[in-house]
């Protein structure tokens, strides 16, 4: 696990973009993508660049259950707004949150992942160490599944909704096992509120209690963080 500490999140996003460009130059064509506030700077870098994404495939980590792609809070909408509308990809996949038949969504998405093995996976991290919507306790070998969001994740995501009551309580997510299949994983984290999760991820025990700690066992994981997020590292 390589840890890169940058001056601020703009520098971190630029660093992530340069690593992504290197991967693409070396043949990466399938990008695993995340939503949330963390990767927005990276997506801005991609959109402002000359990078041609028309031969790339995007596979997103997760989507809320019961939210239409047109809903501004959906991850479909987020990806369109921050990336796909400005940089067309060859194709993009996001779990179908409108389909409440979980078995169907899971089978479809596991097939997407089998057909499009991820070259470079972009990740954020939750304050409780979650990656994707894999909350603490999720088995490391999990594949795509439906999750019940924890109170802390609902509270953290409430900032994007009019009230916490509007935050969906379920989501479909790639599993930790699916994420670990990626050839290269780039996890970014910014701000002091992520410092404890980053310390547990980098310096702590590898345990399902801290889902991101599994990255210590990945052969090619890069953690890019700003100084506040690095403040509790040993």
Q: Specify whether 104 is catalytic.
A: no
Question: Of the two residues 37 and 85, which places its CB atom closer to ligand F6R in the complex?
Answer: 37
Whether 128 is a known active-site residue: answer: yes
How many CA atoms lie less than 13 Å away from 30 in the CB half-sphere?
16
What residues from 108 to 147 belong to the interface with ligand F6R (CB under 6 A)?
124-126, 130-133
Beta bridge pairs of residue 94: none
3-state SS class at 219: coil
For the CB of residue 212, give the shortest distance to ligand F6R in the complex, in Å: 9
Regarding 97 and contact with ligand F6R (CB under 6 A), the answer is: no
Candidate list 53, 56, 58, 61; residue touching ligand F6R; CB under 6 A: 61
Stretch that binds ligand F6R, among 1-9, 21-29, 36-44, 196-204 (CB under 6 A): 36-44
Q: Which helix (H) or strand (E) holds 198?
A: helix 195-203
Residue from 34, 42, 56, 185 touching ligand F6R (CB under 6 A): that is: 34
Q: Which is nearer to ligand F6R, 40 or 47 (CB)?
A: 40
CB 176 within 8 A of CB 167: no
Q: What angle do CA 220, 145, 155 make, to 5 degrees?
A: 90
**Strand runs (DSSP E) across 72-196, as ranges?**
91-93, 120-123, 145-148, 170-173, 184-189
> Which residues have a catalytic role annotated?
62, 128, 130, 135
């Amino acid at each position: 696990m390589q840890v890169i500490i940058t001056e601020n999140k703009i520098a971190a996003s630029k660093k992530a973009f340069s690593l992504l460009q290197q991967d693409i130059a070396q043949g990466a064509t399938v990008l695993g993508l995340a939503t949330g506030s963390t990767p927005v700077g990276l997506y801005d870098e991609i959109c402002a660049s000359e990078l041609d994404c028309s031969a790339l495939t995007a596979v997103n980590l997760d989507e809320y259950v019961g939210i239409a792609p047109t809903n501004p809070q959906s991850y479909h909408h987020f990806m369109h707004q921050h990336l796909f509308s400005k940089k067309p990809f060859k194709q993009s996949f996001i779990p179908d949150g409108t389909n409440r038949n979980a078995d169907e969504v899971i089978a479809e998405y596991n097939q997407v992942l089998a057909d499009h093995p991820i070259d470079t996976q972009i990740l954020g991290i939750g304050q409780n160490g979650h990656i994707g919507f894999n909350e603490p306790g999720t088995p490391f070998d999990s594949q795509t599944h439906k999750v019940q969001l924890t109170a802390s994740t609902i509270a953290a995501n409430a900032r994007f909704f009019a009230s916490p009551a509007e935050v969906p309580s379920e989501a479909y997510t790639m599993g930790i096992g699916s994420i670990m299949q990626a050839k290269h994983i780039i996890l970014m984290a910014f701000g002091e509120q992520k410092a404890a999760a980053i310390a547990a991820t980098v310096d702590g025990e590898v345990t399902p209690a801290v889902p991101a700690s599994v990255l210590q066992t990945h052969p090619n994981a890069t953690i890019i963080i700003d100084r506040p997020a690095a403040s509790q590292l040993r």
